[in-house]
Amino acid sequence: MLIVLSTGCATGLNSVQQSELASYKASNLAVQEKSPGVGAALGLLPGGGSFYGRSYGFGVVNLLLWPISILWDPVSGYDAAESINYQATKAHVSNLKRTEMDNLDSRLATDEIDLKQYTLERRKVDEKYAHSL
pLDDT for 81-125, tens place per residue?
999 999 999 999 999 999 999 999 999 999 999 999 999 999 999
User: In whole angstroms, what is the distance from residue 19 CA to residue 36 CA?
Assistant: 17
Pairwise CA distance, residues 131 & 52, whole Å: 29
Q: Taking a C-beta distance cutoff of 8 angstroms, is the pair 73, 6 a contact? A: no
The runs of H, that is alpha helices, within 15-114 are 15-26, 36-42, 48-52, 56-64, 73-109
pLDDT per residue over 27-74, tens digit each?
888 999 999 999 999 999 998 999 999 989 888 988 899 888 888 899
For the chain, the domains span: 30-132
